Amino acid sequence: MSTSLSPSASASGRPPIADAGPQSLCAREPRVPAERLVAEMVPPPRFDSVRFDTYDPDPAQPSQSEAVTVLADFAAGLGGAHASGSGKKRWFSRTPKSTAPTGPRGVYLDGGYGVGKTHLLASLWHATPAEPALKAFGTFVELTNLVGALGFQQTVQTLGGHRLLCIDEFELDDPGDTVLVSSLLSRLVEQGVALAATSNTLPGKLGEGRFAAADFLREIQGLSAHFRPLRIDGQDYRHRGLPEAPAPFSDEQVTKAAYATEGASLDDFPGLLEHLARVHPSRYGALTDGITAVCLTDVGPVPDQSTALRLVVLADRLYDREVPVLAAGVPFDRLFSDEMLNGGYRKKYFRAISRLTALARDAKPLVSQ
């Protein structure tokens, strides 16, 4: 249920709104055609302008500077003609096979949340000397959605003429999807496509907020020989040297800010969580199309793990699109229970807290002081 007020609402003493009030995410049920899924396989808006020289390595973590050097060399090595001999993108044509290249044809960025893996992955995409139509960038979920929309063989044909495929947040939680994507990547490697990936943790894998490269390589089985693990140590950069995140505002402050911000959405948090269960996660990006700020009232702890995982996906899409989040209720670091934060999906939840906190910091100026 949305908390959007009518244009004539004046309970808070503000003047009536002559035109439309805030939008509601709960009123949206987007449909995403396959063509859009393919066209959007580029770095998201937040990472559209990042480059290796805009990455800010932590001086206390030499592995971060080393990663920049290794990835820049890797990108430079992808120049020249594609192994298939084609310089044009093939959408629905058959791509001839080529001999698989010798040695590692991919890199796996191994590190905890907030060390800049996505920044580096997007920088690799930008630095690879090939036209955008010959490079693809997407999350694991977006890649599986593409296979679902086009079919396995058509996806191979669509991506087979590419120079590089970057996969962010490689999901290892679903064995079926892992096998599916591993099979797809094997076919693409045969056709000379270079690979780069980051990953999320397996269920039951605890540790220090990072996923072990050995586990990743074991899960992708036959593909392991094609990846060179590249460890990136460090702390969450989103909070390095930054002030504390703003405390949640009142429902009245959030509602007033939503009405004063053109293009903002306004929803109550429980209603939004219910709506997310009715929208496939592949559509969460489209759900936020045209939204300049997400305003939420009555934010409280997430009731169960299925709901929590859907919220993680929404947080990722909002962060990718740089959409500020203004919230009333409990702080974002209290969204997930201790049981969740100590369970197998802990890395996802900590990443969501980190990203939502950064977006809350971005939203602070929306509230009139």
The pLDDT of residue 203? 32
- pTM here? 0.73
Per-residue model confidence as pLDDT tens digits over 251-280: 999 999 999 999 999 999 999 999 999 998
Enter the tokens of residue 182.
């591993």
Closest CA to 78 of 118, 125, 123, 31: 125
Cα-Cα-Cα-Cα dihedral of 131, 132, 136, 137, to 10°? 130
pLDDT of residue 111: 79
User: How big is the chain by its Cα radius of gyration, in Å?
Assistant: 21
Averaged pLDDT in 10-residue chunks for the chain of 369 residues: 37 43 94 84 92 93 94 88 42 40 73 84 96 92 86 94 91 72 89 87 38 57 73 70 72 96 97 95 90 97 94 93 96 93 83 91 86
| DSSP assignment letter at 296 | E
The one-letter amino acid at 283:
R
Helix ranges (H only) for 40-139 are 62-76, 117-127
Q: How far apart are CA 167 and CA 138, in angstroms?
A: 5
Measured CA to CA in angstroms, residue 262 lies from 15, 23, 344 at distances of 16, 10, 40
Dihedral sign, CA of 99, 101, 102, 106? negative
In this structure, the number of other CB atoms found within 10 A of the CB of residue 112 comes to: 20
- Give yes or no for a contact between 273 and 301, defined as CB atoms under 8 angstroms apart: no
- Report d(CA 365, CA 14) in Å as an integer: 19
